[in-house]
Structure 1
Amino acid sequence: MEEKREEGERCFSEDPSGILSSCRLCPRQCAVNRLLGQRGFCGASAKLFVARAALHFWEEPCISGKEGSGAVFFTGCALRCVFCQNSAISRREGGRALRPSELSELFLRLQKEGANNINLVSPDHEIPLLVPAMREARERGLRIPYVINCSGYECRPQLRLLKGLADIYLMDFKYMDPEKAQRYSAAFDYPKRAKESLREMTEQCGEAVFDSRGMMRRGVIVRHLLMPGMVRDGKAIVRYVHEHYGEKVYLSLMQQYTPVPGLSAYPEINRCVTKREYGRLLDYALSLGIEHAFIQEEGAAKESFIPDWDWL
C-alpha cells in the first residue's frame, strides 16, 4: 500500500494535468477516473460543487473580524467523521456546479461585499479545479488573502499545488491516536498525514503576518476540537505542535463539539465536552508556556453554528 501511495504521489507531482483521470489526491489513493464519472471515497466528480458562499462571522477573530470571512463551502470529503455537523454536504454531491471563471467571479463578489479573506472550506479534494479560479481572481484584482480551511488529511503533493496561492492555512488536527482516528473518521493514518500536512503548510507560509487591524494576512492556525473523554489526545496534539513549531503556529482550542443524531453506536462521544475537560486542556497549554492561542467561551456548543445549506 505504501509503495502504491508513493507511486501515486510521484504521478501527481509530475503530471498534474492527469490528476483527475487517476485520482490519488488524498491518502485514500482511490485511483478512480473522475473524468469518466467514477467516484472515490470522497464522492467527488470532475465538477466542482459549491454548497454555500456567504460572509461568515464565526471563525477565529483574526479570520472573521467584524466584516466577516468570505466562506465558500465545497461538497464531499475524504473523511467519514461520525460526528460531522456538515454531513448534509460532506457525504453527497449537492449545491451548485461552478466553472473556474464563475468561481473566480464569486470570490470577487465576496471581496466587494467586504470579506476579509476568501475562506475555502473543505477544498482538499477539489484543489486541481480550484487553482485556475484562484489564479484568475488574482489576475482580476482579488487583494484579500486565500484561507485554506482543511481537514489535515492531505498528501504533501496535493498541498504543493497551492504553493504561492495559499496565504493562510486553517488546519484541523483531529487526532493523535490512530485507533481513535479509525473509529471516528475511518482514517487510521490520520495522525501521520496531519503531521506531514502541517510541515508543508508551515514551509509554505512561514511566520504569521497581521495587518494594522489585527487580521491575519499570512500564516498557519491549527485547530483542535476537543472531544468528550479525549483530553489526553488533545494534550498530545498541543504538545506536538508546540514542540515542533513553537509560537510560529497559532493554536485554536475549541469546545464547540455538538453531538449529532445517529451516535448511539458511539455512546462515549454522545455528549458535550464538560467545563472541566476543556479547562484541563487549557491549563495544560498554559503550563507549556503557549501564548499564541485562541480559546472559546463557555456555551460554544450550539447547533446554531451549523450553516444553512440553502445557498443563495
Structure 2
Amino acid sequence: MGSYERVEILERLDGIADIYMPDVKWPDDAAAATYSKAPEYWENVTDSLREMHRQVGDLRMDDRGLATGGLLVRHLVMPNHVESANGVMEYVAGLSEDTFVDVIAQYQPYSRARSEEFYDEIDRGSTEEEYREVVDHAREAGLERLSLDESMLSSRSGFLDAS
C-alpha cells in the first residue's frame, strides 16, 4: 500500500494487513503535484498514515529482527528538499516517536529529470550534507528507530542504525 491510498480503501484492510510500508515523499503539495503528479498529496498521506498506524501500531520485530507487524515508513531524501523531508519527519514523530523510518538516499535523476530545465531542482542525487540534515532533524523530532544509508554517513561518527 502506498501512502497516497485513500482511507476508505485502507479501512477495508483493517484486520487483514499486518504490516504497512508506505513511501512518503512530500509534505509540500506543490512539489508533489509538480514531481509526482499527485494533487492533494499531503492531506491524503496524513490521513492514510493515521489509519495505517491505528490499525497496526508501531513496527514490531521478532528475536531474529524480522518484522511481524506494524508501520514502517520509507522516505526518499530528495535533492534541494531538506525542509520537505523535515516536514515528513515531524509528522511521523507526531504520529508516534516509535515509528520506524527508513531514510533513503538512493534518488538518482533519470529521463526528463536529467535533461529538462523544468526539473533543475531535482537533476542530481541528494548530498551527504542534505541527508545528514534530515537524519539530525529526525532525531531532534524524537525519532530513534531509523534505518540509515551508512554510505551517506561513513565519515561521521555517532550515526548508527537505530533499528
TM-score by length of 2: 0.86
Distance in structure 1 (CA, Å) of the matches to 2:72 and 2:58: 11
- Whether 2:28 is the aligned partner of 1:184: answer no
**Matched position secondary structure for 2:15:** coil
Deviation at 1:206, TM superposition (A): 1.9
How many residues are paired up?
149
Cα deviations across residues 87-133 of structure 1 (Å, max 9, x unaligned)? xxxxxxxxxxxxxxxxxxxxxxxxxxxxxxxxxxxxxxxxxxxxxxx
Contact 2:32 2:41 in 1 (8 A): yes
Match of 1:283 among 136, 142, 150: 136
Max radius of gyration: which structure?
A: 1
How much has 1:228 moved relative to structure 2? 0.6
- The offset of 1:219, in angstroms, is 0.5
Give the share of equivalent positions with the same residue, in percent: 35
Aligned equivalents of 1:201, 1:266: Cα separation in 2: 32
Q: Kindly provide the CA deviation profile for residues 176-207 of structure 1, in whole angstroms up to 9, marking residues without a partner as x.
A: 01111110112220000000100110111123
Structure 2 counterpart SS, 1:172? coil
Structure-2 separation of matches of 1:292 and 1:214? 13
Structure 2 CA distance, aligned partners of 1:193 and 1:238?
16
Q: 2:12 aligns with which of 141, 161, 176?
A: 161
**Within the alignment, does 1:256 sit opposite 2:106 as a pair?**
yes
Provide structure 2 residue ranges, at least 5 long, that are not aligned to the other structure.
Answer: 153-163
Q: List aligned pairs for 1:1-312, cutoff 5 A.
A: 150-247=1-98, 249-263=99-113, 264=116, 265-298=118-151
- For 2:66 and 2:121, the matched residues in 1 are separated by 38
RMSD of aligned Cα (Å): 1.3
Per the normalisation by structure 1, the TM-score is 0.46
Give yes or no for contact 2:50–2:95 (8 Å, CA) kept in 1: no
- Quote the Cα distance in structure 2 between the aligned partners of 1:290 and 1:207: 12
**Structure 1 segments unaligned to the other structure (5+ residues):** 1-149, 300-312
Higher relative contact order (CA 8 A, sep 6+): 2
